[in-house]
Amino acid sequence: MKKLLMTLIGTIILTSACGTTEDEVDEPQTGEDIEQNEEEIANTSDEEVLYDASSAEAVYIGRCSGCHGQDLGGRSGGPGIIGLSKEEVLSAIEEGPGIMPKNVITGEEAENVAAWVADQQ
């Protein structure tokens, strides 16, 4: 019984592995496909600058402004954080440089606030 089960599982793994390879190798790209891909790429980069400003601002005021100032210009607690990229802001949130606490916010909330901060001038 156990052996039968193992064989079954083995078969399923093998079959799905083959399926993946075929999908990747088959079908040369048509012009239409390539166009579609380009559109997808364009969309992805657009998404990176999109954020929910009102939610980001509310979180920033609640969790960050005490140290970085309501206008992001810095206060006694922390430096100004204007002119940084989204990646720089995200990594600061994750790493917590110096006395800044790690992961004050995480996940989508962190992404959203980072995108918003990076877009402030």
Kindly state whether residue 99 participates in binding ligand HEC, applying the rule CB under 6 A.
yes
Q: In the complex with ligand HEC, which residue's Cβ is closer, 10 or 62? A: 62
Q: Does 67 bind ligand HEC (CB under 6 A)?
A: yes
The DSSP-derived string for 62-121 is HHTHHHH-TTSS--SSS---TT--HHHHHHHHHH--TTSPTTSS-HHHHHHHHHHHHH--
| 77 contacts ligand HEC (rule: CB under 6 A) | yes
Number of residues in the chain? 121
Binding of residue 113 to ligand HEC (CB under 6 A): yes
Question: CB under 6 A: which stretch of 1-9, 22-30, 41-49, 84-92 binds ligand HEC?
Answer: 84-92
Q: Which is nearer to ligand HEC, 25 or 107 (by Cβ)?
A: 107
- Using CB under 6 A as the binding rule, the residues of this chain from 6 to 35 that contact ligand HEC are none
Determine if 92 is a binding residue for ligand HEC (CB under 6 A). Answer: yes
Q: Quick one: angle between helices 86-95 and 107-119, nearest 10?
A: 130
Q: How many other CB atoms are found less than 10 A from the CB of residue 75? A: 14
d(Cα 99, Cα 97) in Å, to the nearest integer?
6
List interacting residues with ligand HEC (CB under 6 A): 63-64, 66-68, 77-79, 81, 84, 88-89, 92-93, 97-101, 104-105, 113, 117
